[in-house]
Amino acid sequence: ETGVTQTPRHLVMGMTNKKSLKCEQHLGHNAMYWYKQSAKKPLELMFVYNFKEQTENNSVPSRFSPECPNSSHLFLHLHTLQPEDSALYLCASSQVASGSYNEQFFGPGTRLTVL
Amino acid sequence: LAKTTQPISMDSYEGQEVNITCSHNNIATNDYITWYQQFPSQGPRFIIQGYKTKVTNEVASLFIPADRKSSTLSLPRVSLSDTAVYYCLVGLMDSNYQLIWGAGTKLIIKP
């Protein structure tokens, strides 16, 4: 148990569906992250929120839309996804997202399959 | 941008010391090097972090040579439960949030 929870753990959706992934951290951290993990590829950082402000986009397609209503919750809204978006989506948190690296605590991930 | 390179896989036996090396060309002066461990169906978990020379904690050691172009994670006396994927991560302090993850090394420990 890392103190970071993600729901759902598994999600299957069609290309025309709209769904949302949820992440919650119970660590009192101020920074939260979304990562995409595809088979045999490095983790890809998608979004960073520092004190609820988005600070990194990394050229993620607009069909992925993040939302951070407070420091403890992070959402990833999905719409009109493509089959190549199938992957494990990981949420992480850290004390802050400063210039120096901070230890990140990861949730178990949501396994997403796009049909 | 710094890029990390790790072996795709490694095998070892229980009780042995395992060393996993990561190459990181063009690492910047202020970058830190971090290693994570990931088990199936779980997110990565922090193991150790260092800047130069040697760092040791209760589970691993990290060796970084003077030129910092590589680093070696050392796991002493491994057990079956150390079977996992190990990631090398270089943090770029002068390029906001450009955290460069390696592709990971799948370590298999045999009885």
Mean of pLDDT values over A27-49: 89
Lowest mean pLDDT among A56-65, A86-95, A102-111, B59-68: A56-65
Nearest by CB: A42 against B42, B96, B102:
B102
pLDDT for position B41: 84
Which of B22, B24, B34, B97 should one mutate to test binding to chain A, selecting the residue with the greatest count of A CBs within 10 A? B97
Mean pLDDT of chain A: 90
Q: Which residues contact B81 (CB under 8 A, 6 or more apart)?
A: B109
Q: Which amino acid appears at position B6 of this protein? A: Q
User: Tens of pLDDT along B26-50?
Assistant: 888 878 889 999 998 889 999 999 9
Q: Which residues of B touch A (CB under 8 A)?
A: 4, 30, 32, 34, 41-46, 49, 87, 89, 91, 93-94, 96-97, 99-104
pLDDT for position B44: 94
**How does A25-55 read in b/e, with b if 16+ C-beta sit within 10 Å?**
beeebbbbbbbbbeeeebbebbbbbbeeeee
Mean of pLDDT values over B92-100: 59
Q: Which residues contact B65 (CB under 8 A, 6 or more apart)?
A: none
H or E, element range at A113: strand A110-114
Instruction: Indicate whether B58 pLDDT > 70.
Output: yes
Query: How far apart (Å, rounded) are the C-alpha atoms in residues B20 and B18?
Result: 7
pLDDT for position A106: 96
Mean of pLDDT values over A2-7: 93
Per-residue confidence band for A100, with pLDDT thresholds at 50, 70 and 90: low
Contact B91 A101 (CB under 8 A): yes
Task: Output A50 or A96, whichever has higher pLDDT.
Answer: A50
**A1 — contact with chain B (CB < 8 Å)?**
no
Q: How far apart are the first and last CA of chain A?
A: 31
**A82 — contact with chain B (CB < 8 Å)?**
no
Which among B38, B39, B26 has a CA at the least distance from the CA of B98? B26
pLDDT for position B92: 60
Contact B99 A101 (CB under 8 A): yes
Contact residues, chain A, for B49 at CB < 8 Å: 101, 103
Instruction: Indicate whether A101 pLDDT > 70.
Output: no
3-state per-residue secondary structure call for chain B? CCEEECCCEEEEECCCCEEEEEEEECCCCCCEEEEEEECCCCCCEEEEEECCEEEECCCCEEEECCCCCEEEEEECCCCHHHCEEEEEEEEECCCCCEEEECCCEEEEEEC
User: How distant is the Cα of A92 from the closest Cα of chain B, in angstroms?
Assistant: 9
pLDDT for position B25: 84
pLDDT for position B2: 58
Task: Output A43 or B56, whichever has higher pLDDT.
Answer: B56
